[in-house]
């Protein structure tokens, strides 16, 4: 926090709108939009989390080791777009994953119900800066755990 950093969880004490293009590992994927005061945000993808009870857009057969569409042990492409409506307001975020030689791509759209679009439009227009960070943790069940429906890809963390 020695330089200026903000996110929707006020990690350095400063809340701001946040767009997670890709929170992923080889077992789970999430793309999420956050307003400045919503640390959970609205997202889509495949994974879970300890309290996850939402829709799962893909399955472990689609995305993961030996995935039919995305084999996560090999390189794949990520394309993200931010469509706007007729007035120039953000209409959502679309993420497409593809991999050469695979018969299908995976696509998700987040935020189509108007969630935070005015705040996120303003942040993007102001020049929101992309930051790419790689990190690891032995505690990732928030992203890839079994969830309330017990269908998430990972049963436990690996020490």
pLDDT digits (tens, 9 = 90+) for 109-137: 888 777 788 999 999 999 888 777 777 77
The answer to the question of residue 153 being in a domain is no
Q: What angle do CA 155, 33, 22 make, to 5 degrees?
A: 55
In the Cβ-directed half-sphere of 85, how many Cα atoms lie within 13 Å?
A: 12
Number of folded domains that form the chain: 1
Full-model pTM: 0.81
In a domain, 73, yes or no: yes
- Which domain covers residue 112, as residue numbers? 18-144
Q: Is residue 151 part of a domain?
A: no
pLDDT value at residue 52: 54
pLDDT tens across 138-155, in order? 777 667 777 666 666 777
C-alpha span between 63 and 81 (Å, rounded): 20
**In this structure, is residue 58 part of a structural domain?**
yes
């Amino acid at each position: 926090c020695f330089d200026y950093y903000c996110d929707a969880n006020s990690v350095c004490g400063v809340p701001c709108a946040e767009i997670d293009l890709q929170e992923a590992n080889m077992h789970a994927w999430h793309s999420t939009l956050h307003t400045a005061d919503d640390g959970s945000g609205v997202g889509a993808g495949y994974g879970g989390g300890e309290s996850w009870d939402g829709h799962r857009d893909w399955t472990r057969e689609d995305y993961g080791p030996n995935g039919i569409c995305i084999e996560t042990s090999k390189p794949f492409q990520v394309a993200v777009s931010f469509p706007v409506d007729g007035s120039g307001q953000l209409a959502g975020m679309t993420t497409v994953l593809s991999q050469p030689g695979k018969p299908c791509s995976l696509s998700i759209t987040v935020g189509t119900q108007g969630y935070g679009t005015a705040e996120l439009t303003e942040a993007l227009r102001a020049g929101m800066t992309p930051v790419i960070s790689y990190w690891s943790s032995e505690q990732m069940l928030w992203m890839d755990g079994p969830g309330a429906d017990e269908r998430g890809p990972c049963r436990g963390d690996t020490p």
